[in-house]
């Protein structure tokens, strides 16, 4: 976006989405950037219904499969610094509602972001930052996993060309990931994505109305 475009959207709906993921080993069948792409796609589609701006996804994340092939996971302190800087500048630019969305399990990253948001809002009571994640948003089946049926199905739905299900035939295919990935389907990905998206839009609209 250019400055005038950004200002026009912010004027209309002072809402910004901040998708956060990781670069993390997700088995041999999924790309490293899955978590960020998942959060970003949800934010993009939510914004089509709620209005607002979506930041480019942040691929830097913390904790999880540190030391696994290809993982690039930064320290808590580094991620905390990035998140705190982004949140405070978005707030100062006039966004009245900031929606941080982390696609990265384990919960350490979510708790870290929530802690930063809470501390910022304590210092700036007029500011509103909420944290959503694509797993716990599901109203009847909230749960997290790693490269299992939820994440694999989501990618089969969002970007099938980035999934290689034949890699699941490798003898080490299930090392370090949720084993139900073998049951992933496009249909489950579509259904779950739509349900989570609905919940996200509902939550954000409620927060907007409460402003
Ligand atoms: Zn993941």
Q: How far is the CA of 48 from the centre of ligand 1 (A)?
A: 24
Residue 106 has pLDDT above 90, yes or no: no
Query: How close is the Cα of 116 to the center of ligand 1, in Å?
Result: 22
Average pLDDT score over residue span 126-138: 95
- The reply to whether 209 falls in a domain is no
Please indicate, yes or no, if residue 171 is contained in any of the structural domains: yes
What's the CATH code of the domain at 105?
A: 3.40.50.10310
Asked whether residue 119 is assigned to any structural domain, the reply reads yes
Domain extent at residue 156: 3-203
Q: What is the pLDDT of residue 82?
A: 97
Q: Is residue 191 part of a domain?
A: yes
Average pLDDT over residues 171-179: 96
Q: Please provide residue 67's backbone torsions phi and psi, each rounded to the nearest 5 degrees.
A: 90, -10
CA of 5 from ligand 1 middle (Å) equals 32
| pLDDT interval class at 105 (50, 70, 90) | confident
Q: What is the pLDDT of residue 152?
A: 98
Q: What is the tally of structural domains in the chain?
A: 1
Q: How far is ligand 1, taken at its centre, from the CA of residue 26, in Å?
A: 6
Task: State pTM to two decimals.
Answer: 0.97
Share of the chain above pLDDT 90, in %: 98
Residue 174, in any domain of the structure: yes
CB-based contact 53:17 (threshold 8 Å): yes
* CA 208 to centroid of ligand 1, rounded, Å: 29
Q: How far is the CA of 84 from the centre of ligand 1 (A)?
A: 22
Q: What is the mean pLDDT of residues 75-79?
A: 97
Residue 211 maps to a domain: no
Cα-to-centroid distance, 148 and ligand 1 (Å): 9
SS3 helix, strand, coil % of the chain, rounded to 5? Answer: 50, 10, 35
Position 210 in a domain:
no
Indicate whether 1 pLDDT > 90.
yes
**Within 10 Å of residue 112's Cβ, how many Cβ atoms?**
21
Q: Is residue 208 part of a domain?
A: no
């Amino acid at each position: 976006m250019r400055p005038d475009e950004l200002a026009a959207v912010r004027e209309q709906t002072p809402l910004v989405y901040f998708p956060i993921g990781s670069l993390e080993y997700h088995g041999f069948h999924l790309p490293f950037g899955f978590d960020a792409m998942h959060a970003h796609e949800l934010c993009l589609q939510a914004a089509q219904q709620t209005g607002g701006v979506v930041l480019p996804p942040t691929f830097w994340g913390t904790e999880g499969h540190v030391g696994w092939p290809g993982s690039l996971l930064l320290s808590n302190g580094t991620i905390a610094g990035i998140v705190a800087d982004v949140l405070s500048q978005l707030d100062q630019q006039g966004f009245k509602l900031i929606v941080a969305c982390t696609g990265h399990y384990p919960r350490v990253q979510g708790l870290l972001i929530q802690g930063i948001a809470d501390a910022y809002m304590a210092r700036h009571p007029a500011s509103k930052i909420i944290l959503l994640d694509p797993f716990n948003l599901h109203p009847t089946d909230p749960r997290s996993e790693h490269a299992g049926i939820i994440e694999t199905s989501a990618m089969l739905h969002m970007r099938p060309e980035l999934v290689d299900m034949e890699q699941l035939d490798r003898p080490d295919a299930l090392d370090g990931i949720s084993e139900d990935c073998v049951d992933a389907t496009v249909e489950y990905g579509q259904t779950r994505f739509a349900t989570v998206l609905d919940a996200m839009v509902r939550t954000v609209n409620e927060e907007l109305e409460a402003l």
